[in-house]
Amino acid sequence: MSDKERQYRKGGPTQMKEYVAKYEDLYKIVKEMFIGIGYSDKQATAVTNSLVEADARHIHSHGTVMLPTYLGYIETTGCLKLDAPDPTVVHETPVSFVMDGHSGVGYVIAETAVKKCIKKAKESGICVAAVRYANHYGYAGHWSEMMADEGLIGITSTNTIRAVCPTRSAERFLGTNPIAVAIPTVGDEPRFLLDMATCVMAYGKICRSKVFAESGVLPDDIVVRPDGTTVTDFPEAIEVVAHGDTPDKIPVEPTGGIAPLGGTTELRSGYKGYGLAMLVELLTGGFSGGIPSKFIPYAGEGVCFFFMAIAPTVFGDPKAVLEHLKYIIEEYRKAQPISEDMPVLMPGDKERHYREEALKNGIVLSDDIVGKLRAVAQRVGKETEFEKVFTVKE
Amino acid sequence: MSDKERQYRKGGPTQMKEYVAKYEDLYKIVKEMFIGIGYSDKQATAVTNSLVEADARHIHSHGTVMLPTYLGYIETTGCLKLDAPDPTVVHETPVSFVMDGHSGVGYVIAETAVKKCIKKAKESGICVAAVRYANHYGYAGHWSEMMADEGLIGITSTNTIRAVCPTRSAERFLGTNPIAVAIPTVGDEPRFLLDMATCVMAYGKICRSKVFAESGVLPDDIVVRPDGTTVTDFPEAIEVVAHGDTPDKIPVEPTGGIAPLGGTTELRSGYKGYGLAMLVELLTGGFSGGIPSKFIPYAGEGVCFFFMAIAPTVFGDPKAVLEHLKYIIEEYRKAQPISEDMPVLMPGDKERHYREEALKNGIVLSDDIVGKLRAVAQRVGKETEFEKVFTVKE
C-alpha cells in the first residue's frame, strides 16, 4: 500500500461503521443546524428538504454531507450569500422567464423558479426558464419531481463546477451537468424519473466508492490524466479529480478530469456524453446570460439552472395522455432480465426502492458523513440533540 | 476465415471502390428515381432533400442507400403508403399539437410538422409537437436544422425499429432513438448541432464499418447476444443485430441487440443511455398516443416523432441571446487538444466539414451503395442518366 493510499484510507470511506437515523429526526436536526449556521427558516427548509431526500434515496453525494461543504463556501469564499436579495425576474413572456439569483442559496432560488414555472405552465401549457448567478441546487431530480407532483412533465438541468473533459481534451472544462426528467403517470405505475450526470461517473460516485477505495483500483476510461491517458490507480484518480480548482478562480492547466458519458474514446461514443454536457452549458449558462462551468470556481458561484414544465393537456385529454404513458412504461417493464436476481428497472425505480426502505427502517449514513455533520453540530451547540438522532447500524 | 465471414465480405463494404457525384447531379437523379417508383413531386422532394444532405455529411446510413430500402417497404409490407391522406392534426393548443401521419412518407409528415412548429413557435414563443403513425424521417439533425434555419432552437427525436436492449436485458426493445438539438448563433460561429443515437453505436455504423468488416472484430460491449454476453466476432454481431424482426410484426425472442450509450455495464453508466432511449419512447410514442419501438416492425410502420421549437426571444433580446451562446461556444473551443492533429470539435463540426468538402469535390459513395441505387435506376428506366452522374474516385 502506498503512503498516498494509506493517507487516503485513514478515516476515509473504507471504515465500514454506519449510523441510522429516522427521516424526521434527521430532517429536524439538519434544519436546526442550518439555522445555527445562519440560514433563515425559509432557506433551511428548502435545503433540508432536498438533502434529506437525497440521503433517503442513497444519493449521498447530494445529501446532508453538503451542510459542512456549504459552510465552507460561506466562510472561505463568500460565494454563497445568505443575505442575498430575493431572486429577480429579468425577462418574462407568457411561456418563459429568465431569473437572476444574486448568488443566494441555490435551493431557494430553484424553489422560487420551479414554483413560477409550475404556475406559468398551468396557465400557458408550457414554461421554460433559465436562471443565472445561482448556487448548488442539490440533486436535479428533486426539482423535476416537484413539477411532476403538480401533474406536469418536469425537466431541469444545471451547470456546475468544472470537472469533465471534452472529447479529445484533458482540460476539465465542463460540469458534470445533470439532466433530470420526471414524467407523471396514473394508477399504480410510479412515475418515470431519469436523473443523470452527463459524465461517465458522477464526481461523488468516484470519491465515495467503497469498492474502489478498498481495491485501490478504478476501472479504465473514467478519469483522465493531464496528459490524456486514463487512470486506474484509485488514489491517483482522486488526486486528479480534486485538482485544478483554486479559490482565486483561475483555472490551473493542465488539469485532467472525468470522462464524458461513453468514455474517452470516440469508438464508444464519448462524444455523445460530451455533446450532452455541452448542450447543458447552453441551456443553463447560455440561455440565462450567465457563465459556463469553465469559469465556475470550486465554491459554485455563478451556477446556472434550466427548467421546463409541460402540462400533459398540450398533448390531449390529460387522463388519456397519462394512461398512454403508463401503458408504454408497463410494456417496457416486460423486458426479460438476463439474470433473475437483477430485474430490469425503469429510471427512478432504484431511488424509489431506497426511499421506501429509508422511510421504514431509517436513513443509513456512513461514519464519515456523520463525523462531518457532528463537527457542525458541535459548533452550533447542538451536540446533545445530534447524538440522540443516530444509532449505530447493526 | 469462416464461411459466414466470406459470404458477408462478398460484395460487402470491404470492396474499396468508391464513386463521386456532384451534389446537384446526385440530387436530380435520386429525385427522379423516387418519382419513378411512384413518389409524388412533393414526396420525392422532401425525401431527396434529406438523403442527399445525409450523404454529403457522411451519414451514409441515412443517405440515398435508403431509396431501395423504402422501395422494399412499399412492395413487401405496404407499411409505407404513398397514397396516404395528408397528415391531420388531432389536438392543438397555442403552444402544441399532436399529428397523425396515416403511415405516409415520413419526410413529408416531418416537414409538415416542422413547418407548423416553426409557425407556432414564432407566434407563441414555443411549440411542442408529437406525431404518431409516421414513417422513417432520415437523420434527425435535418429537422432540427430546419428550425435553426428560421432562427429557432430546434429539438427533435424519433422512435424507430427496435434494436437496443434495456440495461440488464438482452431483448431488443428500444429503438436507436436519436435526439437532435440545433441551436443557432450569430456571426462566424457555426451553430451547435448535436445529433446522436442513444445507443453506444448506431445500427448503420456497425453494419457499414469497413474497419470492423476487414478486421472481423467488433470492440467489446457494443452488441449483446441473446444470452446477455457481448459479441466481438464481427460476422456474428451482424447476425445478432439483423435478427429478431419479422414482417408479421411478432417479436422473436430472445433477440439480443445493441447496447445503450455507456455500454452494457452499470459501472460505466449504460443505464443512462437506456434512460435516454426510454425517455425518447415517452416523448414520441407516449405523447403522441402512438406505439413504442417495441412494436415497430422492421419496415418502420408506426414510427413516432417529437419536435420542439423555441424562439430565442423567450430568453430576452434575441441578438443578445445568440451573442451569448456564441461567446460560450467560443470559450469551449479553447480547450487544449491532447493531440494537435485531433482538434477538439463542437457538435456539428465534423458533418459541416464533410459537407463543405462534398460541395467542393463531390459526394463520395461506396460501390455497395451505388450498386443498390443502380438496380433501382435500371428498374425505372434511368440507367443511362444514372451512369452519367458517377465517376470512379481516384
Q: B250 vs chain A: nearest CA distance in angstroms?
A: 14
A322 plus A343 within the same structural domain: yes
Cα separations (Å) of B329 from A178, A262, A291, B245, B333?
19, 22, 12, 42, 6
Residue A212 lies in a domain: no
Per-chain mean pLDDT for chain B: 92
pLDDT at site A291 = 95
pLDDT at site B5 = 45
Can you list the pairs that A25-29 forms with residues at least 24 positions away whose Cβ atoms lie under 8 Å? A25/A388, A25/A389, A26/A52, A26/A55, A26/A64, A26/A363, A26/A389, A27/A52, A28/A389, A29/A377, A29/A382, A29/A385, A29/A386, A29/A389
Q: State the DSSP string of A381-393.
A: T-HHHHHHH-EE-
Angle between helices A41-56 and A106-124 (to 10 degrees): 90
A157 plus A273 within the same structural domain: yes
- Closest-CA residue to A131 (of A157, A104, A100, A158): A100
Q: Environment class of residue B162 by beta-carbon count within 10 Å: exposed (0-12), middle (13-18) or buried (19+)?
A: buried
pLDDT at site B6 = 43
Residue A2 lies in a domain: no
Residue A290 lies in a domain: yes
Residue A131 lies in a domain: yes
A277 plus A163 within the same structural domain: yes
Nearest to B332 among A125, A166, A325 (CB): A166
DSSP H or E run through B109: helix B106-124
Which residue of chain A is at minimal alpha-carbon distance from B290? A324
pLDDT at site A141 = 98
Cα separations (Å) of A94 from A137, A305, A318, B314?
25, 19, 21, 9
pLDDT at B97 > cutoff 70:
yes
A343 plus A324 within the same structural domain: yes
The parts of chain A modelled with pLDDT lower than 50 are 1-14, 249
- For B261, left (φ over 0), alpha (ψ -120 to 50), or beta? beta
A89 plus A59 within the same structural domain: no
Give the model confidence (pLDDT) of B233-250 as tens digits: 999 999 888 876 665 545
A314 plus A390 within the same structural domain: no
**E strand residue ranges, B287-357:** 303-310
pLDDT at B14 > cutoff 80:
no
Is residue A82 within 8 A of residue A380, CB to CB? The reply is: no
Residue A256 lies in a domain: no
Helices (H), A150-303: 203-207, 210-215, 234-242, 270-281, 287-288
B174/A334 Cα distance (integer angstroms): 12
A72 plus A188 within the same structural domain: no
Q: Environment class of residue B355 by beta-carbon count within 10 Å: exposed (0-12), middle (13-18) or buried (19+)?
A: middle
Cα separations (Å) of B319 from A378, B54, B322?
53, 30, 5
On whether any CB of chain A is under 8 Å from the CB of B74, the answer is no
pLDDT at site A251 = 55
Is residue B331 within 8 A of residue A292, CB to CB? The reply is: yes
pLDDT at site A96 = 98
pLDDT at site A208 = 79
pLDDT at site B187 = 87
Which residue of chain A is at minimal alpha-carbon distance from B184? A282
pLDDT at site B1 = 39
A276 plus A138 within the same structural domain: yes
pLDDT at site B76 = 83
Cα separations (Å) of A325 from A151, A333, A351, B165?
13, 12, 20, 20
Nearest to A196 among B90, B91, B272 (CB): B272
- Closest-CA residue to A185 (of A77, A324, A62): A324
Cα separations (Å) of B271 from A260, B167, B198, B332?
14, 6, 11, 28
Q: Domain of A114?
A: 80-201+266-355
CATH of the domain at A34: 1.10.1530.10
**How many domains does the structure of chain A reveal?**
2
A118 plus A92 within the same structural domain: yes
pLDDT at B12 > cutoff 50:
no
Residue B333 lies in a domain: no
Q: Environment class of residue B37 by beta-carbon count within 10 Å: exposed (0-12), middle (13-18) or buried (19+)?
A: middle
* Lateral strand order in the sheet of A96-100: A88-93, A96-100, A126-134, A303-310, A153-158, A179-183, A192-196
Taking the C-alpha atoms of B257, B262, B265 and B270 in order, what is their torsion angle to the nearest 10 degrees? -80
Q: What is the mean pLDDT of residues B176-188?
A: 95
B247/B267 Cα distance (integer angstroms): 37
Q: Name every chain A residue with its beta carbon within 8 A of the beta carbon of B344.
A: 166-169
Give the model confidence (pLDDT) of B135-157 as tens digits: 999 999 999 999 999 999 999 99
pLDDT at site A252 = 64
pLDDT band at B10 (very low <50, low <70, confident <90, very high): very low
pLDDT band at B9 (very low <50, low <70, confident <90, very high): very low
A176 plus A29 within the same structural domain: no
Q: What is the mean pLDDT of residues B19-47?
A: 98
Residue B306 lies in a domain: yes
A119/B167 Cα distance (integer angstroms): 36
A345 plus A306 within the same structural domain: yes
Q: Name every chain A residue with its beta carbon within 8 A of the beta carbon of B316.
A: 90-91, 98, 289
Q: Name every chain B residue with its beta carbon within 8 A of the beta carbon of A338.
A: 168-170, 227-228
A63 plus A92 within the same structural domain: no
Look up the ipTM and state it: 0.94
B21/A300 Cα distance (integer angstroms): 53
On whether any CB of chain A is under 8 Å from the CB of B254, the answer is yes
Residue A341 lies in a domain: yes
**E strand residue ranges, chain B:** 18-21, 88-93, 96-100, 126-134, 153-158, 179-183, 192-196, 223-224, 230-231, 257-258, 303-310, 363-366, 391-392
pLDDT at B2 > cutoff 70:
no
CATH of the domain at A85: 3.30.1370.60
- For residue B319, give every residue at least 6 positions away whose Cβ sits within 8 Å of its Cβ, in sequence order, or none: B186
